[in-house]
Amino acid sequence: MKRYTIYTLLLLLSLQVGFAQVRDEVNKQVLKVLAIGNSFSEDALENYLHDLAAAADREIIIGNLYIGGAPLDLHFRNAQEDKAIYSYRKVALDGNKATLENTSISKALADEDWDYVSLQQASPLSGQYSVIMESLPALMDYVKGKVAPHTQLVYHQTWAYQADSQHDGFANYQKSQQQMYHAIASSTKQISKQKGFAFVVPCGTAIQNARSSSIGDHYTRDGYHLELNYGRFTAACTWYEKLFRLDVRKNTYKPASITESQAQIAKAAAHAAVKKPFKVSKIKK
């Protein structure tokens, strides 16, 4: 049996402490994510995601380039022409949000050393793979040409409309929530196999999972935008688990505006979506 002196033991202990400190510092590095999106990225990213990160002792900066209803082809045209027409919303390290109007994509991309840049299609076209691919590769190339080598692209999977939605774009799916969801899931599954994306954030599947719970089909406030409290929280939980690779069910944060049951459903729906991003998992709550 080896025998250690007190000095050797102290040295080993100090090394272990040092390694633990380094590991903690790595875990606490500031994560920076920018969405080139619309109101659906507003619903998913601007609310509750920072709070979830803070509860897990993680630091995050969130940016959202917003034009209401903007599809991928519009984002690409704006990038090519360097149009300063976005509302650039930014959630800082301390959780405070500021908005800078009349911002271009190039300016926002240069604003931070982003870890992730998110792309997404406008909701009426979110299940139309051929339409998505008309603009997505070119926009990906543009973004890659403007960011650091370590920056990764992610794709935001948006959600199907409420079954009784009056949105004009619902006609693209015969006004069927199931058809719309399956089209979105199929499209994003194909996108996930494309080179260039680190991962898909399956918010659409998380919302569809949550609809199978006792809350039912009440996850939007107008038939397509998310309900402001448990609806948005479900999407934020999905982003949290994908970005930090932490089980959101173990996160202690809950918005004051929702019940414990609603929070548990949101977290369970998000966790299940991360596990199975292109297939509905029933939530037994």
Cα distances (Å, whole numbers) of residue 66 to 30, 73, 89, 126, 266 = 23, 14, 7, 17, 25
Cα distance between residue 108 and residue 89, in whole Å: 10
Q: 3-state secondary structure string, 186-235?
A: HHHHHHHCCCCEEEEECHHHHHHHHHCCCCCCCCECCCCCECCCHHHHHH
In DSSP terms, which residues pair with 35 in a beta bridge?
A: 64, 118
Residue 11 lies in a domain: no
3-class DSSP state of 32: strand
Residue 101 CA to its chain's centroid (Å): 22
Residue 73 lies in a domain: yes
* CATH code: domain of residue 63: 3.40.50.1110
Query: Which of 193-197, 221-225, 280-284 is predicted least confidently?
Result: 193-197
Higher-confidence residue of 12 and 199: namely: 199
Residue 24 lies in a domain: no
Residue 23 lies in a domain: no
Higher-confidence residue of 25 and 38: namely: 38
Domain extent for 91: 31-275
Task: Tell me the per-residue pLDDT of 205-263, one tens digit each, with 9 for 90 and over.
Answer: 999 999 999 999 999 999 999 999 999 999 999 999 999 999 999 999 999 999 999 99
Residue 188 lies in a domain: yes
pTM over 0.85: yes
Structural domain tally of the chain?
1
Residue 128 lies in a domain: yes
Cα distances (Å, whole numbers) of residue 203 to 68, 136, 162 = 18, 19, 14
Task: Tell me the per-residue pLDDT of 47-105, one tens digit each, with 9 for 90 and over.
Answer: 999 999 999 999 999 999 999 999 999 999 999 999 999 999 999 999 999 999 999 99
Question: What pLDDT does 5 receive?
Answer: 62
Exposure letters 33-62 (e unless 16+ CB within 10 A, then b): bbbbbbbbbbbbbbbbbbbbbeebebebbb
Cα distance between residue 267 and residue 237, in whole Å: 6
Q: Which among 147, 157, 79 is positioned nearest to 115, based on CA atoms?
A: 147
Q: Which among 277, 275, 272, 280 is positioned nearest to 178, based on CA atoms?
A: 280
Residue 9 lies in a domain: no
Residue 231 lies in a domain: yes
